[in-house]
Chain A
Amino acid sequence: MVSPIFIIAAGLGTAFLLGLLRDEWRAAAYGLTLAALAGTAAIAGGWLWAFAIDGAAPVEILTAGTPAPFAINLRLGLPEAALLLLANLTGLLSAVYLKDTLSHLGRRAMAVLLIIVMAMGGIILTRDLFNLFVFFELIVISTGGLILLSAERHALGAGFKYLIVSQLITILLLIGIIFAYHAAGTLNIDGMAAASLVMLKGGSLAFFLIFIAVVAELKPVPANGWALDIYEAAHPAFSAIFSAAVASASLFAVDKLLLIGGPAWLPVATAIGIISFVASNLLALPQTNDRRMLGYSSVGQVGLILTVLGQRDILGDSTLFIAGGILFSHAVAKAGLFWLSGLVAGRNLQDWSALRGQPLLIFAFVTFLAMLSGLPPFPGFYAKWELIHLLAGHGRLVLLALILFGALLEAGYLFRWFGYIIKGEQPTEVIVPARHKLSVAMIAALAGWALGYLWGGLSAHNNLLQTLPLLFALGFLLLEWLPAWIKNSLAIAGLVAWFILGYPGYDPLQLIFATIMLLGGALILMASYHAQGRRVGFYPSAMLMYAGLAMLIVAKDSFNFFAAWELLTVGSYFLILRGKHSEPHALSYIVFSLGGAFLILAGFALAAQGNSQFSIEALRQVAQPLAPWVFVLLAIGFMTKTAAIGLHIWLPGAHAEAETDVSPMVSGILLKAGLFGLFMLLMHMGKQQLYGVELTHVLMWIGALSALIGNLLAIFQEDAKRLLAYSSIGQMGYALFGLAMMNHLGWLMALMFVINHYIYKSMLFLSVGGIAKRTGTRLMYKMGGLITLMPLSFIAVLIGIIAMSGVPPLSGFGGRWIFYNAIMTAEYRLPMILIFLSGPIAFLYLFRLIHTIFLGQLKDEHRKIKEAPFWILLPQFIYVVCLMVFALVPGLALRRVDAYISQFFPQGALNWEGLTITSDYGYWSPVSIMVVVGVIFMTLFAWLLFVNRKAQKVKQFNIVFAGERPFRPETTHFAWNFFAPYRKALGFLTQPLVTGFWETLTDLLHTAADVARRFYTGNAQIYAIHFLAFVVVLFLLSRGV
């Protein structure tokens, strides 16, 4: 192996050598620079290989031929090698990226770049305190130089602010070092640790100074105003180095110091870290400048890693895995994003819409986004999982909550940013990235995936990048060049094949969900054949969601369950975002979902008590008093997906604005993931009490209120898809109610709703989507009289609403029948009455779908429209058939489930004899009902035809409300504000209180952040004062402790 001293010698030597070249030989100088960086990176890579693969032991490198404490020594082990590789590769890629700038500025700039990379190597390698200081100063000075690479005018001011603060840091560091030397009699870090410096006289004060000075290099809030200005003003390629590599090296330096400081200083590191993490993510919320926002995010991520280092007392051997996972995710993603920002001309977040139409760049962006948010399959995900479990296991719950809160804030602004890219205003200019810059960004993205694979392999869990469904979904990324119909066929084949493969292994409950999610998904995908072109981005997103769903239902342990949950969340987010006006709704969807996911994570972690391998079955054994808390966390988490009242505000917009074939997916299928989670939860944890309150009782109330409010809100909608969306909230309320009853019939009813809701909601969304496609509007009062033009859609909607309203003979009635039987058995009467009331309300809105859309007068502009496209109609009629079959022989699905539920609730099972089903309260014979209703229907229909023979056609006219001046054209339509009297009577129930609550909350956060960030006045002296105040306050606090 090449001695690591060559990493330092080669960097320095090349920097000196550049001085010998003629100023004109810039190409040669540039080539030399790249060669040196590549060489040092290769050395680091070779060592990393040796440590990781060959299991080599760490090496000590002595200088001056003198043993360690007396001369400076270096140490190279696995973490050092990994960090060296990171630093050198970042340097190399940034140098490639900076080709033009460096060639323009000449060899001196290249020398500075080489030296900063070398200095990072020094910080990582050295075991001598003063030597550490020297390398830090090299970084300070070269930062001062590299800031000037930027074309930004204000870069100079930012650099000067940095120099001022670093003067203060230098003073403290030097005083600290000399007194530490005096106390310990050595400058060697290991020597100081062995002498337990902080115990010696004067040692703890000296250590305080050293520690605070090195921590200041991590830009902790609030002593970091200068850093943000640098991020905003510096050249992005330098920011990439500054954020990814310099911060990593500094973190490693802090890690070395913590070795000296010992356990007493771990809480200090934790406190500084977590404050930085939460505060800077909060402060990032109101930012509009991309680079400044990335700066805040960098500070936050580094704070998180510092927190992890501070928790090493409980993290133990996992520290490296966790800190490394977060660090490398941060480094790769942040460097990548800074490199991307160099391709975007404008500095406003909205200007990033310039990326649109560049699939490669968007792929890179999404990769970085997912890495930063800690989504699977990237290292941050595995790290977060371990971290949260260990924290929960040791009862550090406040810290756990703060970490998850900060992570949610970060995900919030990152996903908002992504929304701007996909849905922002059309870019004015198309960016044509230079090839070398594009390759740099792409290398970072690929490195991200490679790291994901690596961390998956290192983790004790399933390597997600080896799971077939996920790979299948990702495979579509490579097939994006194919036309949509081929991809669609592949997707359908994949779903069906996966179902067939899994079929033997499913238990009846899983079978029902698998049928709906996989076969049902394939069915909805048939509607996607109508799409033309390549439909870039649709298939990877959709298949990601299906992959998550497929993995969710077979997950045996909490890790796989949670990973699947996150995958399906992300996939569905991308799907929802595809709608024309769905940006804000997609954002609230992802924020609610991730918030819910974090609660689920916390719940699992709490349940597992530090054991990161935790099978779902083991939820049964969770001990008191933990169990109810676990129950609450998981239940709220799952209810964000079922959009229970209070957590529902994302749903209407998300479902309504989605594309025609996406709405049924996210409504008919995705909502069931939440129900599946609730099934699992209740099945394993059963009834729980918290402070004497029966939690299932609370769920029952939530279910009943969701049903009532969801239905009420639905009747006042003008938008047909929003109407259906609100109705989903109500339907999920029924299902939740049924589940929460915790008895046989309740669960059977919930399962009926799972099946029925999938069928009729998918069908209705498709029909309404088809109509909206033809008429160009979703507002019902703009339609009318379509029955003659779109008869097939009419039939589908008619059958759909018959099924949904639960009147005989269709399967909805079966649902109702079980439902009424079930609520008779409920222990609580009041919610029962509520849910009973909400039934008739459903008629009010369902009836409008037929009445307003298909009956009445045809609009002039609609005279020439055609029936909905064939591919949208086809699945609808398959659903019609399903409804009929299911109505006739409900036992097909329910019988086995009924038996399955009997395991949990032996009481109250139904009796399946022949075609008749008997409960304690009565019997249901689907076939006879079908016959009876069919006869009645035919009779009435015949009579109607007979009577209507002589009916006249009515000419079109408007009914204008008397005495009202029609300011807006829609007010003249009879179907607008159709239920005005009800609104007068019941409107108070539909006040957007919940929306108001969440809006106030986010406003509050934004306002707080907006006020707080004024703290960073931009004045260099004020920044210096901040730093001093940070030092003094910490000093006083540490005295107090």
Chain B
Amino acid sequence: MAHIALATGFILILIGLYGALTNRNILRMIVSFTVADTGVNLVIVAVGYLRGRTAPILDATLPAAEAAARIIDPVPQALVLTAIVIGVGITALMLAYAYKLHETKGSLDIADYRELKW
């Protein structure tokens, strides 16, 4: 189970990276990165998974005393939330940049923005 999820996550990352590095259109690059980010999030969650256990929320069916034996690892779940939020932030920032870049040159081709070099 965990291995499948992990493998899927890794494959998503590779697909995302391939897209981001080969598409010259800035918007496609941004979308590719969100695919890769999703892969990362999947990997994070998968690492916390323990076979046959339940979500880390205490209620009548899961008393505090049994928690340690019955819940999955809550830490990756907490981390993934942070990772998602940060991913959103960066995506939004990149979109704003893309907008501005398009405004300055009217082009969304990344290869058009290389005045600075060497």
**Which residues of A are in contact with B by a Cβ distance under 8 Å?**
130, 134, 137, 140-141, 144-145, 153-154, 156-161, 163-164, 166-168, 170-171, 174-175, 177-179, 181-182, 187, 225, 228-229, 232-233, 1013-1014, 1016-1021, 1024-1025, 1028
Contact = CB atoms under 8 A, between A and B. Distances in A.
14 contacts: A137-B89, A154-B115, A156-B97, A157-B114, A157-B115, A164-B29, A167-B36, A167-B37, A171-B36, A181-B47, A1018-B113, A1018-B114, A1020-B110, A1021-B20
A270 to B, nearest CB: 28
B110 A1019 contact: yes
B56 interface: no
A178 B44 contact: yes
A1020 B101 CA distance: 13
Interface in B57-88: 75-76, 79, 82-83, 86-87
Contact of B79 (A130, A153, A167): A130
B55 interface: no
A144 B97 contact: yes
Given A144-B97, A164-B29, A1025-B21, A178 B79 contact: yes
B76 A156 contact: no
B100 interface: yes
Given A134-B86, A140-B90, A178-B76, 17 more contacts: A137-B86, A141-B93, A154-B115, A154-B116, A156-B100, A160-B26, A161-B113, A167-B36, A170-B90, A171-B13, A181-B76, A229-B117, A233-B116, A1018-B115, A1018-B116, A1018-B118, A1019-B111
Contact of B116 (A145, A181, A229, A1013): A229
A1013 B40 contact: no
Contacts of A166: 90
A141 B44 contact: no
A134 B94 CA distance: 18
Interface residues of B, number: 39
A175 B40 contact: yes
A181 B75 contact: yes
Contacts of B33: 164, 167
Contacts of B7: none
A174 B116 contact: no
B97 A130 contact: no
Of B17, B20, B118, most buried by chain A (CB within 10 Å of CB) is B118
A1020 B117 CA distance: 10
Contacts of B118: 1013-1014, 1016, 1018
B11 to A, nearest CB: 13
Contact of A1021 (B24, B36, B83): B24
Interface in B19-55: 20-22, 24, 26, 29, 33, 36-37, 40, 43-44, 47
Contacts of A137: 86, 89-90
4 closest pairs, A vs B, by CB?
A: A1018-B117, A1018-B114, A157-B113, A229-B116
B89 A141 contact: yes
B82 A1020 contact: no
Contacts of B26: 160
Contacts, number: 117
A160 B97 contact: yes
A181 B43 CA distance: 13
B117 A174 contact: no
Contacts of A130: 79, 82
A160 B43 contact: no
A177 B21 CA distance: 24
Contacts of B94: 160, 163
Contacts of A1014: 118
Contacts of A164: 20, 29, 33
Most buried by B among A156, A166, A177, A1014: A156
A171 B41 CA distance: 10
A882 to B, nearest CB: 58
A108 B63 CA distance: 47
Contacts of A157: 101, 113-116
Interface of B: 13, 17, 20-22, 24, 26, 29, 33, 36-37, 40, 43-44, 47, 75-76, 79, 82-83, 86-87, 89-90, 93-94, 97-98, 100-101, 104, 110-111, 113-118
Contacts of A177: 79
Contact of A174 (B40, B93, B110, B113): B40
Contacts of B90: 137, 140-141, 163, 166-167, 170
A164 B117 CA distance: 16
A174 B114 contact: no
A178 B114 contact: no
B117 A1017 contact: yes
A178 B17 CA distance: 19
A1021 B104 contact: no
Contacts of B110: 160, 1019-1021
B43 A158 contact: no
Contacts of B36: 167, 171
Given A141-B90, A156-B104, A178-B44, A1017 B114 contact: yes
Contacts of A1013: 118
Nearest to B86: A137
Contacts of B87: 170
Contacts of B79: 130, 177-178, 181
A160 B101 contact: yes
B33 to A, nearest CB: 5
Contact of B97 (A134, A159, A170, A178): A159
Contacts of B101: 156-157, 160
A233 B117 CA distance: 11
A167 B20 contact: yes
Contacts of B13: 171, 175
Contacts of B20: 164, 167, 1021, 1024
A1016 B117 contact: yes
Contacts of A1025: 21
Contacts of B21: 1021, 1024-1025, 1028
Contacts of A181: 47, 75-76, 79
Contact of B17 (A163, A168, A182, A187): A168
A111 to B, nearest CB: 15
A936 B29 CA distance: 96
Nearest to B98: A160
Nearest to A147: B97
A622 to B, nearest CB: 46
Contact of A182 (B47, B89, B93, B115): B47
A1014 B118 CA distance: 5
A153 B104 contact: yes
Contacts of A1016: 117-118
Contacts of A168: 17
Nearest to A162: B97
A158 B17 CA distance: 20
A171 B93 contact: no
Given A140-B90, A163-B94, A174 B83 contact: yes
Nearest to B29: A164
B82 A171 contact: no
A537 B98 CA distance: 51
A279 B101 CA distance: 32
Contacts of A174: 40, 43-44, 83
A160 B89 contact: no
A871 to B, nearest CB: 52
Contacts of B104: 153, 156
Contacts of B44: 174, 178
A225 B115 CA distance: 13
A1035 to B, nearest CB: 15
Contacts of B43: 174-175, 178
A137 B40 CA distance: 15
A179 B100 contact: no
A137 B33 CA distance: 16
Nearest to A137: B86
A140 B87 CA distance: 12
A164 B89 CA distance: 13
Given A130-B79, A164-B20, A178 B93 contact: no
Nearest to A287: B118
